[in-house]
Chain A
Amino acid sequence: MNNLLTLRKRLGLELWRQRENNIIREHPLRQLFWECTLRCNLHCRHCGSDCKVAAMQPDMPAADFLRVLDSIALRTDPHQVFVIVSGGEPLMRDDLEACCAEIYAKGFPWGMVTNGLALTPARFRALIKAGLHSITISLDGLEADHNWMRGHKDSFLMVDKAIDMLVKARPLVFDIVTCVNRRNYPQLAAIKQYLIQKGVTHWRIFTVFPAGRAANDPDMRLTAEEFRGTFDFIKATRQEGRILASYGCEGFLGSYEADVRDHFFTCQAGIAIGSVLIDGSIGACTSIRADYSQGNIYRDDFMDVWENRYLPYRDHSWMKQGDCADCSYFRYCRGNGMHLHDGDGQLLLCHMKRLQENPKEGVIPS
């Protein structure tokens, strides 16, 4: 498969581009990440945050984040802003349920991302009671591979139990997220089968981007053939219709656009997505590890920052350098995901370029 866009996709992308321009002008805050802790009960090989059991940075007091929500609620409808509790591992906080109940009481729907290790039935019930709307659980393979990736012998077992709880808790919205790497790539079909048997309906797949602990790990980075094969796998899985597989939000994918996600590529960081990081920094999604913070909740009013700053997120003209300078796809990718840029503004990964390393169809794992 080459990377040429069909006329249909090109027209779709042009419509999408108009949408993007409108959204950038309006920049409605729709998702707000709260990095509530950097502590974690696992030591994952691909961790973008480089989290540890005992973090250098203390957890953010709930009251500090709740003040941010008060400021947001004065300027926008809280029902329209989805709070995503993230970490570290949010379940490391003993007061998580109490924090989230407060978030919910202020009118903000909320969800969380967890590794599932500490998701006991009692905690799950308490989270539901605190207004949990959606939950994402990480699963990076079947037992041996997942535990290898996560560095814990019981990790798979707990995810397995957690999935059973989630399936029974529908209509709670949940999905499973899998980081594809060299080790679990050949197992993708087996993982799919496992998830279908468990009753999972939504499966989000992403590939490692070169940041955090994964940056220098050769087991993490797929070959060019595997990289393309991952998209062929997602596309084929979607066509099967037994489970809705999607590629994560990062990366413009050329001819794979519209075939592996429910939308065209977009990076909504700083446009519809904001974040409050552990030290109070005001940023966008938590995958952005380079310092593109726009302020700090301990100095600035969040909504003032949201309305008046965020220029690097909303005007990507500074990204049009290096390989991007003359690339005809810049029109659609706008320099790729914000989190794929280092502190100097250099692009760490261009998905199109990686796909072009292997223009032939990938080998779909079976």
Chain B
Amino acid sequence: MKTMYKKITSFLLKLLGFSSTFVLAACYGPSPTGYREDQMVVDGDSVAVVDLAEEDADSMAIINTPSEDE
């Protein structure tokens, strides 16, 4: 979705009193595994959802990367 559209949707849902998790799902879609929502909700009530989108791909790549000692 376009960034501006996400911002408007986020703002209106927040205005209606929906939680940040809810706002994130509206912008990025829910996940059957819960993975996306969990990774993207990083600071409780933040609605900085647009910035998180770009980080998402990177966080997917680094999470659970095998550590040296394994």
Contacts and interface: CB of A to CB of B under 8 A. Distances in A.
Interface of A: 8, 11-12, 15-16, 18-19, 22-23, 26, 30-31, 77, 79-80, 82, 84, 107, 109, 111, 125, 128-129, 131-134, 136, 171-173, 175, 202, 204, 246, 249, 258, 261-264, 266, 268, 272-273, 285
Contacts of A258: 18, 22
Given A128-B64, A258-B22, A272-B29, 13 more contacts: A11-B12, A19-B1, A26-B1, A82-B33, A109-B60, A111-B33, A132-B64, A136-B33, A246-B34, A249-B32, A262-B22, A263-B26, A273-B32
A272 B57 CA distance: 16
Contacts, number: 106
Interface residues of chain B: helix, strand, loop or mixed (majority) = helix
B18 to A, nearest CB: 6
Given A79-B57, A263-B26, A15 B12 contact: yes
Contacts of B37: 262
Shortest beta-carbon contacts, A-B, top 5: A263-B25, A79-B57, A134-B35, A109-B60, A263-B30
A107 B62 CA distance: 11
Contacts of A26: 1
A134 B70 contact: no
A171 B31 CA distance: 17
Interface of B: 1, 5, 9, 12-13, 16-19, 21-22, 25-27, 29-39, 56-58, 60-61, 63-66, 70
A284 to B, nearest CB: 11
Given A12-B16, A173-B38, A285-B32, A133 B60 contact: yes
Main SS of the interface on chain A?
mixed
B22 to A, nearest CB: 6
Contacts of B26: 15-16, 19, 263-264
13 contacts: A12-B13, A23-B1, A125-B70, A128-B66, A129-B66, A133-B63, A173-B34, A202-B38, A249-B32, A258-B22, A262-B30, A262-B37, A263-B26
Contacts of A22: 1, 5
Contact of A175 (B12, B33, B36, B56): B33
Contact of A171 (B12, B21, B63, B70): B63
A122 B14 CA distance: 45
A338 to B, nearest CB: 13
Given A16-B26, A111-B35, A268-B29, A79 B60 contact: yes
Contacts of B16: 8, 11-12, 15
B1 to A, nearest CB: 5
A284 B13 CA distance: 29
